[in-house]
Structure 1
Amino acid sequence: MPEAPSFDLTKWKTESLRMTAFLSPSSQITEQNWWEEISGSPPEVRSSQPRTGVKQDEGLFQDENTRGKLILAVQPSRIDWLLAIDFDPTSFNLQSVVSFSESVNSFTQLMNRWFNVSPNLQRIAFAANTLLPFEDVKQAYEYLPGYFPLNQLDLKNAQDFIYRINRPRNFDDISDFKINRLSTWSVMTFTTFKLTNVGSYTNYLPPFNVAIRLEMDINTSTDLSGELPKDKLPKMFAQLVECAKEITLQGDIL
């Protein structure tokens, strides 16, 4: 069995990154200009649903490493920042997608700016969908067991595999306060296609992309009552991100 290609985040590609903040009961959001404060420019689209109290801003985000759609969704009890990486549907090739290491650094810088102006929070989470490209499905399944050192899996001739687990871990600076480390592993095949005028006939177009897909949700648990210390939010978020990097590099470990 080939060893997992660990310790190289540049091999992993990013689908999307998300930061979720759960508001403390004392927090009330009225007017805010977080999009402008964080991105430096107005959003391209702004929408609101007065009855539900949901507001959403979205627009292009781009720096020297990353390009994608940035979405800010504000609800009465939670706030989500989502960065969806751009894919070119006409020439989709996973090898050309931005690496996880580059995109997560850009995203972390954005979130650290927001933590400076954020309301009081009760919990935070970091979620990432990442892809590790392979030449074909057989090769992906050959490498996949290397990411499960605690569970030796035989995936020879396997199909439709999915593996999901949460391995909580104690927070560095706060005793008896846990981080949930939820990861979901699968093998995905991506294709581009076009519909023809002949009934429902579909032409599949090269290139065909195969990847190990890793979905992660790393979040602070509900063990800590009260509010998260505001001055520690960047450090706490950094630890969530480091947990995600560790899982991406080393797989399902304690």
Structure 2
Amino acid sequence: MPEANIADRFDLTNWKTESLRMTAFLSPGSPIPQQNWWEEICGSPPEVRSSQPRTGVQQDEGLFGDGNTQGRLILAVQPSRIDWLLTVEVVPTSFELPSVGSFSESANSFAQLMNRWLDVSPNLQRIAFGANLLLPFEDVEQAYQSLPAYFPLNKLDLKNAQDFNYRINRPRNVDYDISDLKINRLSTWSVMTFTAFQFTNVGSYTYSSAPLNVAIRLELDINTSIDFSGELSKDELPKMFAQLVEYAKEIALKGDIL
């Protein structure tokens, strides 16, 4: 296999977004106030709302569309944790890779939405940005040929490889008003194949399969360290979240770097 280099990497627009997530952990002793976050952030009521008053769990969801970014938005509220999730709206007859849009556009749209929420959020101890991304290829061999370009610190020979899975955390210290705040940069790399099955006879075992889709799959979890026991400054939250998103973009562009 010829040695892959920087030129073999792809632009952010080539990466497709399977899902995006913002997770916020409340400061100890900070209760969730009476809230109407979905309407405040999205401007209209959710399509679906479920609630478990005894446990303090609530979930809102509905369609989200912003330019070329289209998907299903979910707000899950627990007593000590809030999750915003943008994920694929399932289309049963679609044979395309599951995607809400390109990573470059969807990450920007999602970040703008989350910044509106951070303006009204309760006191937080940790935040995280998660992303599941897909880089499509015509076949498995091409995907494995492109992977080594994303591992400049670890020269890999993936000729005839199968079942590849690589997971690593490259933490970084950041300079905010908070001392000793560490950002975890966790990435998981693999090659995925997707096959959609279309049953021709309901209840029978006969089926026809759609053309095979192949992609490098990159799972990202960029988060402020659990070791930090203080409270994140409200004024710093938008800047911090923007930094998490930038680290995710950096990994998708440059791969596993320090």
TM-score by length of 2: 0.93
**Pairs aligned (count):** 253
In structure 2, the residue matched to 1:182 is 186
Q: 1:226 aligns with which of 230, 240, 252?
A: 230
Gaps of 5+ in 2: none
Match of 2:108 in 1: 105
Q: Higher mean Cα deviation, 25-34 or 137-146?
A: 25-34
- Call closer, same or farther: CA 1:95–1:3 in 2, change over 3 Å: farther
1:64 aligned to 2:67? Answer: yes
Structure 2 Cα separation of the partners of residues 220 and 133 of structure 1: 30
Match of residue 213, structure 2, among 185, 209, 222: 209
Note if contact 2:76-2:83 (Cα within 8 Å) is conserved in structure 1.
yes
Q: Give, in whole Å, the separation in 2 of the partners of 1:136 and 1:7.
A: 16
- Inter-CA distance 132–87: structure 2 relative to 1 (3 Å threshold): farther
* Deviation (angstroms), 1:169: 0.5
Tell me the CA shift for residue 3 of structure 1.
3.1
C-alpha distance in structure 2 between counterparts of 1:97 and 1:31, whole Å: 31
User: How big is the shift at 1:50?
Assistant: 2.1
Q: Does structure 2 conserve the Cα–Cα contact (< 8 Å) formed by 1:65 and 1:106?
A: no
**1:96 CA displacement:** 7.7
Tell me the distance in 1 between the aligned counterparts of 2:230 and 2:73: 30
Q: CA RMSD in A?
A: 1.7
CA distance, structure 2, for counterparts of residue 96 and residue 238 of structure 1:
22
1:9 aligned residue: 12
SS at match of 1:140: helix
Rounded to whole Å, the distance in 1 between the matches of 2:75 and 2:11 is: 30
Q: Which amino acid aligns with 1:186?
A: S
Quick check: 1:87–1:97 contact (8 Å CA) kept in 2? no
- Unaligned 5+ segments in structure 1 are none
Alpha-carbon distance change, 241 to 58 in structure 1, aligned in 2, over 3 angstroms = same
1:199 Cα deviation (Å)? 4.0
Quick one: distance in 1 between partners of 2:101 and 2:179? 37
8 Å Cα contact 1:95-1:133 kept in structure 2: no
In the TM superposition, what is the alpha-carbon distance from 1:89 to its structure 2 partner?
A: 3.9
Name the SS of the counterpart of 2:187 in structure 1.
Answer: strand
Question: Which piece of structure 1 moves more, 166-175 or 28-37?
Answer: 166-175
Helix, strand or coil for the counterpart of 2:243?
helix
TM-score normalised by structure 1 residue count: 0.94
Residues 131, 219 of structure 2: 8 Å contact kept: yes
* Corresponding letter in the other structure for 1:2: A
Q: Report % sequence identity.
A: 76
Partner Cα distance (1:9, 1:67) in 2:
17
SS at match of 1:157: coil
1:241 to 231, 238, 245: 245
Distance 2:185 2:151 in 1: 15
Q: Which residue of 2 is the match for residue 164 of structure 1? A: 167
Please tell me the residue identity of whatever aligns with 2:4.
P
> Do 1:26 and 1:120's aligned partners in 2 also have CA atoms closer than 8 Å?
no
* Distance change (3 Å), C-alpha of 1:17 and 1:92: same
Q: 2 CA distance for matches of 1:97 and 1:38?
A: 19
